[in-house]
Amino acid sequence: MSPPASEDIRFRHVLVAVDGSSHAVMALSLAIALAQRDHAKLSVLTVVPNVRDGAAAAWNVPVDPLALQEEADRDADRTLRAAIDAVPQDLPVRARLRHGHAGPEIVAEAKEGEHDVVVVGARGLGRIGSMVGSVSNYVLHHVKVAVIVAHAPPPAP
């Protein structure tokens, strides 16, 4: 049995996860191109970490967990709006915002939204810095549909 030709592979509902990183920008570009090629639905997802949980565990540090969560929510909303603004006007797009750990939330959204492909960046930015591919790795191993992992081009010399 031979594999299908690339022109035979078509998707109906594309999910892309964005976090503002350069890899996520590349993932969004790929997801837009894929949705346009296949006349597919496009969903853009941003996951907000539950900062309150981590802040509550901090010792000897005066923090306001509610204020930290509100800041994280605002940052995620800005990231999501910027991604939606980058989608061409003629392409229908659905914005999704979830709270929790990025990997499991992306997998849950893929399943609940009946997506047939997920596009993620190879590496992302969390509130603490680089996720070193842990989210894309999680998605690759747990989602039950096609996954495309986008790497940002290297910086110009």
Q: How confident is the model over 116-154, as pLDDT tens digits?
A: 999 999 876 544 334 446 899 999 999 999 999 999 887
The answer to whether position 3 is within a domain reads: no
- Domain, as residue range, for 23: 10-150
The answer to whether position 89 is within a domain reads: yes
Q: How confident is the model over 56-65, as pLDDT tens digits?
A: 555 556 778 7
Q: Which amino acid is at 57?
A: A
The answer to whether position 101 is within a domain reads: yes
The answer to whether position 156 is within a domain reads: no
Question: Residue 136 maps to which CATH number?
Answer: 3.40.50.620
The answer to whether position 57 is within a domain reads: yes
The answer to whether position 5 is within a domain reads: no
Domains: count for the chain? 1
What mean pLDDT value characterizes the chain?
A: 87
* Structural contact between residues 35 and 86, judged by C-beta atoms closer than 8 angstroms: no
The answer to whether position 4 is within a domain reads: no
- Least Cα distance to 121 among 108, 109, 104, 138 occurs for 138
Measured between alpha carbons, how far is 142 from 111 in angstroms, rounded to an integer?
11
Q: Structure pTM?
A: 0.85
Which residues are registered as beta bridge partners of 47?
98
